[in-house]
């Protein structure tokens, strides 16, 4: 089941739990606006190349729309639609005053030079500048884009609208980016894990973790788990997988990867088959790489008691059912990886105020938001007698539905 079908299914189940009016339910699914633009740029060799850029703005009942921009050869309109919708529920679960959006350009950033990427980003911004904005739609980086991309969008947008640092988040620190933004998703995953384990009288200390994915989310999460006394017993990324039953020395591994660019040949652990990582012996499994990695083929063999979804949509609905029958507790992506968008919100707030925070304040507020959201999800689970995924979806959908009704939906 792809991301769109899964998101729609979860939305429908939540709407049923909440007893939403069927007309309202249908209205909440339809995006507010879909934008598709042609971006033609001169390449470095003088030839012209055309790319298709788009932005799906899903819902703005609770505030300006928020979501990433990805540069990827297969930017599929269906997937972008699903991700925009997912951002609507995610920002509502975290109780941020935003709606959801998502966008991208169908290109392979690896095949473009830095100056070509800059021209492409600027042309895309010129085409959509009157449809995004501080109180309208606030983009952020995603696959294939980064802080530099945001800097170009900010500069191009500011040519039309005056200096507007709050129009994008995930910016370089020198242009109004927030301290703590880079570590935010990984740190949010750790705060979410702490909140969940506390429910079961456990803590991160002496708990065994396995992480799939050692990119931005996975490496920061591993670093914080290690600092809090947790044992990371297995880690994998695209270069391979390693294990050590006594716990991997994460700072040493980060240093090794910085020098070699790979997990291979790391002295403090044994090499293992990356396919075995998900079924490795551990207490907590954190998939923070790709979607759809937990499926009906491997779900029955998973040994972890808790799964924290650092990635978007890592668990197929079939796997969800098998795992819940086994008594495995799954903390859903819509909450578990919302640390990034939460600190993006803090960045936007700082830019609007023109007053920047210390990193301690950013992390303190992030912990407060993540902990509060967890308890609100648990309250929904109790009220509707459902699992954490449905608790989170019904919390998010309920907030958006209430805002929509209060604003006057039929008029």
Sign of CA dihedral 87, 96, 364, 379: negative
306-308 and 99-106 beta bridge pairing: unpaired
Closest CA to 56 of 152, 160, 150, 131: 131
Residue 264 falls in the annotated catalytic set: no
Residue 224, C-beta contacts closer than 8 angstroms, at least 6 positions apart: 183, 186, 187, 190
Residue with tokens 């939540």: 14
Residue 354, C-beta contacts closer than 8 angstroms, at least 6 positions apart: none
Calculate Rg over the CA atoms of the chain.
21
Residue 385, C-beta contacts closer than 8 angstroms, at least 6 positions apart: none
Do the beta carbons of residue 96 and residue 83 sit within 8 Å?
A: no
Element (H, E) at 68: strand 65-72
| Pair of tokens at residue 208 | 């065994």
* Helix spans in 250-387 (H): 250-260, 317-325, 333-336, 339-353, 359-384
CA gap 219, 215 in Å, rounded: 6
Residue 286, C-beta contacts closer than 8 angstroms, at least 6 positions apart: 189, 193, 209, 210, 211, 212, 218, 221, 307, 308, 310
99-106 and 48-57 beta bridge pairing: antiparallel
Do the beta carbons of residue 358 and residue 179 sit within 8 Å?
A: yes
Query: Which neighbouring-strand residues pair with 234?
Result: 210, 243
Residue of 66, 90, 102, 223 marked active site: 102
231-237 and 33-42 beta bridge pairing: unpaired
CA gap 192, 102 in Å, rounded: 24
**Phi, psi (rounded to 5 degrees) for 312:** -85, 125
Other Cβ atoms within 10 Å of 73 Cβ, number: 12
**Phi, psi (rounded to 5 degrees) for 44:** -60, -30
The residues annotated with a catalytic role in the active site are: 102
């Amino acid at each position: 089941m792809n991301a769109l079908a899964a998101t729609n299914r979860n939305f429908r189940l939540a709407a049923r739990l909440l007893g939403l009016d069927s007309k309202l339910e249908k209205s909440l699914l339809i995006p507010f606006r879909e934008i598709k633009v042609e971006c033609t740029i001169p390449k470095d060799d003088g030839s012209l190349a055309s790319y298709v850029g788009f932005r799906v703005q899903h819902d703005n009942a609770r505030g300006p729309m928020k979501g990433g921009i990805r540069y990827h050869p297969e930017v599929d309109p269906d997937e972008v639609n699903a991700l925009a919708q997912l951002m609507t529920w995610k920002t509502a679960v975290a109780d941020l005053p935003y709606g959801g959006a998502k966008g991208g350009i169908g290109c392979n950033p690896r095949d473009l030079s830095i100056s070509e990427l800059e021209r492409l980003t600027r042309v895309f911004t010129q085409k959509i500048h009157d449809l995004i904005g501080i109180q309208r739609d606030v983009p952020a980086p995603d696959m294939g884009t980064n802080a530099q991309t945001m800097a170009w969008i900010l500069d191009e947008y500011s040519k039309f609208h005056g200096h507007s640092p709050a129009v994008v988040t995930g910016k370089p620190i020198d242009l109004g980016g927030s301290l703590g933004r880079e570590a935010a998703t990984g740190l949010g995953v750790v705060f979410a894990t702490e909140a969940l384990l506390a429910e079961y009288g456990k803590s991160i200390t002496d708990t065994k973790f396995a992480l799939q994915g050692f990119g931005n989310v996975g490496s920061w999460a591993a670093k914080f788990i290690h600092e809090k006394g947790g044992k990371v017993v297995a880690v994998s990324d695209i270069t391979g997988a390693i294990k050590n039953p006594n716990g991997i020395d994460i700072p040493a591994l980060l240093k090794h990867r910085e020098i070699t660019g790979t997990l291979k040949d790391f002295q403090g652990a044994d090499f293992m088959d990356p396919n075995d990582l998900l079924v490795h012996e551990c207490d907590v499994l954190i998939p923070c790489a790709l979607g759809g990695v937990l499926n009906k083929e491997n779900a029955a063999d998973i040994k972890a008691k808790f799964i924290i979804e650092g990635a978007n949509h890592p668990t197929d609905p079939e796997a969800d059912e098998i795992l819940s029958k086994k008594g495995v507790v799954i903390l859903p992506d819509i909450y578990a990886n919302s640390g990034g968008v939460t600190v993006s919100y803090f960045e936007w707030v700082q830019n609007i105020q023109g007053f920047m925070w210390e990193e301690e304040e950013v992390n303190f507020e992030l912990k407060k938001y993540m902990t509060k959201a967890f308890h609100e999800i648990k309250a929904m689970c109790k009220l509707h007698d459902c699992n954490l995924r449905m608790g989170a979806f019904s919390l998010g959908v309920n907030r958006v539905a209430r805002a929509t009704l209060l604003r006057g939906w039929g008029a």
